[in-house]
Structure 1
Amino acid sequence: MKRWMAILPLAALLGFGVLGAVQLMRPPEESFTAKTDRVAPDRVFPLLDDENRTIGFAPPPGDKPVMVNLFASWCAPCRAEHADITRLARAHPGQVYGLAYKDAPEATREFLAELGNPFVEIGVDRSGQGGLDFGLTGVPETFVISPEGKIILHVRGVLDEQRAAEVSAALAG
């Protein structure tokens, strides 16, 4: 009976080890799209081109849903999704905004000079706290916000054709 009691903790430890190994071997979910009903953060951001002006998204500017893409010049996936963002901006003029996350303004300007600027306006989140208030887990991430200031769609990771189509549908209302 005593041997059985000694083996029990060892068996539990082995079970947790197997469970951990299975989780580690599972491929990470790099991107997902989720419909939400959270309120956009009540925070304003200085604009990239004029720090004396600010922009906020609770509620967003205008009377249509808007897309806010959190990006950074140092982020390789942000570069990869830039063409999809440009297409969305052409399809939905005046509805695509950017938020430069933990990026130096000069680096953001160079990034946009190289790839083009599809955004109506770009806010600056130097500290990163604004991104965290949105629910950011890592750049790039895209949020669609209703005219009432609710986050109605959250795309974590790189926009691709399918996710861009979901964002486009949400922007169309």
Structure 2
Amino acid sequence: MNNKNNNNLFNFVYSALFAALIIVLGFISIPIGPVPISGISLGVMLAGAVLSVRQAVYSILIVILLGAAGLPVFSGFTGGIGILLGPRGGYYLGFLLGVGIISLLRGNNNNTFRLFAAIFTGSILIEYIIAIPWLLFITQMHLKQAIWLGMLPFLPGDILKTILATILAKALYKNIPALRRYNE
């Protein structure tokens, strides 16, 4: 198999594996309002932290397309285009953009602070910059209410997930040589 086909195979395999991880983590869900707390963001953080930009974006696209088709792959075993067009839609759009930003900013994973900053920027800042206006538009709530319901309950967990994702990503990157070889 030539190097291009080998690269395409790794892109597909890693994208599919991380899409599966994101889906499984999404089954951990606590309904607290218009947007549940779930493990999806941890999977997104990890995908961006260890995969190439292409692989990471594809992993989120797989999840979004499967969910849009009606498969119960979103948090709380839900699916359907209505989820993407509802209050949670901005988060999925934020995941799509954020995962690529994490992957672009992370560098070579040797610098823990840089990796943490990349994950924080892509998964927290970018996600909320997209999700809160979306929540405002869809629900017609006030900005203060959207922040109270759509951001503040998630921040402590997101910061913990960012720390966990940084630790896990460094371990994965160190112990899986193929990640280094095909992401450089």
State the TM-score bracket (shorter-chain normalisation).
Answer: under 0.3
Which structure shows the higher strand fraction? 1
TM-score, with normalisation over the residues of structure 1? Answer: 0.27
Which structure shows the higher helix fraction? 2
Decide which structure has the larger Cα Rg and report it.
1
